[in-house]
Amino acid sequence: MKIIKYSFLISCILLLVNCIDPFEIEATEFKSALVIEGTITDQEEIQRIMVSRTFPLDTVLMTGLSAVNVNVLDSNGGVYAFSETSPGDYRSNTPFAATAGLTYTLKVATSDGNSYTSEETAVPAKTNIDNLYADRDFKDDGAEEGMFIYVDSYDATGQSKYYRYEYEETYKIIAPNWSASDAYIVSPLPNPEVAIRAKTKEERVAYNTVASNTIIQENTTELGEDRVNKFPVRFINRENFILSHRYSILVRQFVQSRAAFSYYETLELLSGTESLFSQRQSGFLEGNIKSDTNAEDDVVGFFQVSTVSEKRLFFNYTDFFEGESLPKYPVDCTLVSPPIINEAGASPLLVAIELETLKYVEEYNQETNPNNLSEFGPFLMVATPCGNSTFYGTNVVPDFWVE
């Protein structure tokens, strides 16, 4: 429905308009504001608060804000001090957990003498993820097929209601054209010579971990009970190579206040591409942090206290796609055989080895040219990502990884 409405409005504009012209947003319209992102959880851990400033529309430079005094206060008079670990990233000096029944307030003082205080925030109810499971299914009435990661959760007390999810997915990458050996340059031009030697580091299997960056929320207020049932936290198209071997996802379920819920919801709406044409009423999104020193000084962001529950899930491609072909590797893994010296007197093979654009696969029989290549050299080579999985991740097995 949404789409229809928007396309309607878009068309309205097009229909009437003789002219849509781009124009430059004037640089003077930059609004510098403090950005605070912080979620204190009920887990005994080093808590984290991010402080930065907004940056102009025409730049991409984001820098954290240093030398900020960050403290979280509880309603019992407890003060938890934070220290900067990297620019803009503040960690609590000691691990602590938000305790039910108390309220928490964030206090931030910047080096320019301004200070900011969040609203008092209570600790919401705690609800655990009951089930985290994956299933193969169709999305959008068959338009796409893939894996859904579902969450089940139930709060018998009916207190939780507003859920937000974050996940961290880790997947195993196996280089399809891995070889135990690497080519290396024995002698450069003008007398080029190459040879192979055993690899010194793991390049066949790697693991990559990616954090979610979208806003995933669910509420149970329209339901008869506070039950999250088969909520799709994540959908992965079956063509996505991250499913290829073994996949793991850690899902964190935050129970949050309604205010936080609606903050994230509106943030999502405002940033959605579909709102851009519609002349929808947009506006400054007010969070729960205010300047103590200057009421006009708007603060972007939200400080919240959440209870958190997490669960991890593993599955293999074969668990759901037994006997089916793997998703395509993200790059083309066609084998090539660059000549060691070509007609122009250059050495494509040496360049490829030196710049690590290609990886050694096997020896090539230059006598018979079995692959009927138009030009060839001593080795069959492949694009680096196909022979070295660490191009996409790390070869260090994550602590949590279970085969």
Partner 1 sequence: MRKYLQLLMLLLSIGVFAQENESRFNFQIENKNVLEVLNEIEQEAGVTFYLDEKWVSDKNYSGNFTNETLENILETIFKETNLNFFRLNDSKIIITQNNIIYKDLPEGFFGKEEIDSVKENTNYTRISSNPVFSNIEASNKNTITRTVRIGKENLTNTRSGYTIRGYAKTAEQGQPISNLSIILNGKNSGAVTKDDGFYELEVPMGTSILKTSSLGIEPSTTRIIVFNDGELNFNLNESVEFLDEVIVEANAAKNVEEALSGSTELVVEETKNIPLVLGERDVLKVATTLPGISTAGEGAAGFNVRGGSTDQNLILLDNAVIYNPSHFFGIFQALNPFTTKDLKILKGGIPSEYGGRLSSVFDITSKDADNEKFSGEAAVGPVTSNVALEIPVVKGKSGLLVGGRGTYSGWILRSLKDESLNNSKASFYDAIAKYTHVVNDKNTLRAMGYYSSDAFSITSDSVYGYNNRLLSFQWDHQFNEKNTASLIVANSNYEFNIGYEGNSDSNFDLGFVVDETEAKFKFTYLHSKAHKFDYGLSAKLYNVQPGNLEPNGGNSIVDTKIIPNEKAVEAALYVSDNFKVSDKLLIDVGLRYSMFATLGTADARVYEENMPKNEETLVETVSYDTNEVVETYGGPEIRLSARYFLGPDLSVKASYNSTYQYIHRLSNTTTISPIDTWKLSDNNIKPQKGRQVGLGLYKNLEGNQYEISLEGYYKEADNLLDFKVGSELLLNETIETETLQGDGQAYGVEFLIRKNSGKLNGWLGYTYSRSFLKLDSEFAEERVNNGAYFPTNYDKPHDFSAVMNYKLTKRYSLSANLSYQTGRPVTYPVARYNFNNSEYVVYSNRNEFRIPDYYRLDLGINIEGNHKIKKLAHSFWNISVYNVLGRNNPYSVFFVTENGELKAYQSSIFSIPVPTITYNFKF
Scan residues 291-320 and list those touching partner 1 (CB under 8 A).
295, 298, 300-301
DSSP-derived pairing of the beta strands 299-316 and 34-41: parallel
Looking at the Cβ atoms of 55 and 321, the one nearer to partner 1 is 55
DSSP string, 177-225: T--SEEEEEEE-TTS-EEEEEE-SS--SEEEEEEE--S-EEEE-TTSSS
Among 208, 209, 275, 366, binds partner 1 (CB under 8 A): 275
Helix (H, G, I), strand (E, B) or coil at 159: coil
**Chain position carrying tokens 């691990």:** 95
Q: Shortest approach of partner 1 to residue 155 CB, angstroms?
A: 13
Query: Among the candidate windows 207-215, 243-251, 342-350, 359-367, which touches partner 1 by CB under 8 A?
Result: 207-215
Looking at the Cβ atoms of 80 and 302, the one nearer to partner 1 is 302
Q: What is the spatial distance between Cα 39 and Cα 144, in angstroms, rounded to a whole number?
A: 34
Among 111, 214, 294, 371, binds partner 1 (CB under 8 A): 214
Residues in region 231-270 near partner 1 by CB under 8 A = 258-259, 262-267, 269-270
Of 167, 162, 174, nearest to 150 (Cα)?
A: 167
Size of the site for partner 1 (CB under 8 A): 79
Q: Shortest approach of partner 1 to residue 165 CB, angstroms?
A: 12
Assigned token pair, 245: 């071997």
Q: Shortest approach of partner 1 to residue 393 CB, angstroms?
A: 18
Q: What is the spatial distance between Cα 165 and Cα 138, in angstroms, rounded to a whole number?
A: 22
Contact 380, 363 (CB under 8 A): yes
Among 121, 288, 347, 384, binds partner 1 (CB under 8 A): 288
Residues in region 60-119 near partner 1 by CB under 8 A = 62, 119
**Site track 350-389 with partner 1 (rule: CB under 8 A), x = hit:** ----------------------------------------
Looking at the Cβ atoms of 108 and 381, the one nearer to partner 1 is 108
CA angle 330, 332, 336 (to 5 degrees): 150
Q: What is the spatial distance between Cα 160 and Cα 155, in angstroms, rounded to a whole number?
A: 7
Residues in region 121-180 near partner 1 by CB under 8 A = 141, 161-162
The alpha carbons of the chain give a radius of gyration, in whole angstroms, of 27
Query: Among the candidate windows 22-30, 68-76, 98-106, 233-241, which touches partner 1 by CB under 8 A?
Result: 22-30
